[in-house]
Structure 1
Amino acid sequence: MTADRWQRLKNEWGRRLQPGEQSVVIAWSSFTATFAGVRALTHWIHDGHGPSSGGMSLGGHHFHHYNIGIAGLAAIGAVALRGHERHLRHPVTAAAYGTAIALIVDELALLIDLKDVYWARQGRTSVDAAIILTAVGATVAAGLPFWSHARGALRA
């Protein structure tokens, strides 16, 4: 992408979306990318391409990535409660929020059933599809004031 197109896209982003709307688009985009990436990575590991332990381990115990998501939300909560105003809608804060939520949602069945059913067949494919469609749909919906103008900025 040329510098001129990038600048036009950046201008439309600032003109069409308020800071809160920008944060929502960034958070949903981060959620979508993280969820898809974690799904792909866990399937790759499960298929025998990753660590022989099947994932992360601490002290000989499997470490679920929802723990990282919970820690991330705790940190974002601390920023919201005690951080400076400029951090509240910062793109990094929004991206971290989306990432943390994706790490938790990816292992939601474990949290609901309180047993490790991550690789159980029942409903896993439909849950994955529903969450991915929700994430993509929300990203599109959150950015509605921007997308048509983005397309125009990139064409010009």
Structure 2
Amino acid sequence: MTFGGLRLLTWLIHVDASGVGNVSAGGVHIHHYVWGILLLMIVGACGLVERSPRWHVWMGLAYGVGMALVIDETANLIDLKDVYWDKAGWTSIAVALLIIAVAGSLLALTHRDRDVQKGSS
């Protein structure tokens, strides 16, 4: 959901339809993978000190959001330049769809295995 929302938001910024602009500091555009890396660092640090299952759910959600922020700009990280709206930017979409497919398949398989184990107990 975060990946889709990011694509929509960046497209709205790109076509200047949202009234929202890019985040900049000192005239330099700050790509959203920076926020993703920061979020992943925070979640990692919290994971080292917080052992509560309740917090693990929230950290898992934040981890997923951070990953989406980074994965959405994979092409920029590979080329080390802003190719988000160029042909090379499709690399980010391909990587994201591949990760979503693999993660979704793994989750479906692990839930199916849990259901089978519960039924045989």
Please state which band the TM-score falls in when normalised by the shorter chain: 0.7 to 0.9
Residue 13 of structure 1 corresponds to none
Residue 66 of structure 1 corresponds to 33
Task: Quote how far apart the aligned CAs of 1:107 are.
Answer: 1.0
Report SS of the residue matched to 1:42.
Answer: helix
1:46-65 alignment to 2 at 5 Å? 46-51=14-19, 53=21, 55-65=22-32
Q: Which amino acid in the other structure matches residue 38 of structure 1?
A: L
Residue 39 of structure 1 corresponds to 7
TM-score for both structures, normalised by structure 2: 0.76
Change (3 A) 1:145 1:89: farther
Consecutive unaligned residues in structure 2, runs of 5 or more: 116-121
* 1:114 maps to 2:114: no
Aligned residues: 115
CA distance in 1, matches of 2:20, 2:40: 30
Change (3 A) 1:88 1:59: farther
Q: Which amino acid in the other structure matches residue 144 of structure 1?
A: L
CA distance in 2, matches of 1:52, 1:142: 35
Report percent identity of matched pairs. Answer: 38
1:92 to 50, 58, 68: 58
Change (3 A) 1:52 1:35: closer
TM-score for both structures, normalised by structure 1: 0.61
Contact 1:69/1:101, CA 8 A, preserved across alignment = yes
Report SS of the residue matched to 2:81.
Answer: coil
* 1:139 maps to 2:107: no
Q: What is the Cα-based RMSD across aligned positions, in Å? A: 2.8
Consecutive unaligned residues in structure 1, runs of 5 or more: 1-32, 151-156
CA distance in 2, matches of 1:40, 1:62: 18
1:104 to 45, 61, 70: 70
Return structure 1 stretches of 4+ with deviation > 3 angstroms. Answer: 124-127, 143-147
Q: Which amino acid in the other structure matches residue 108 of structure 1?
A: T
Report SS of the residue matched to 2:15.
Answer: helix
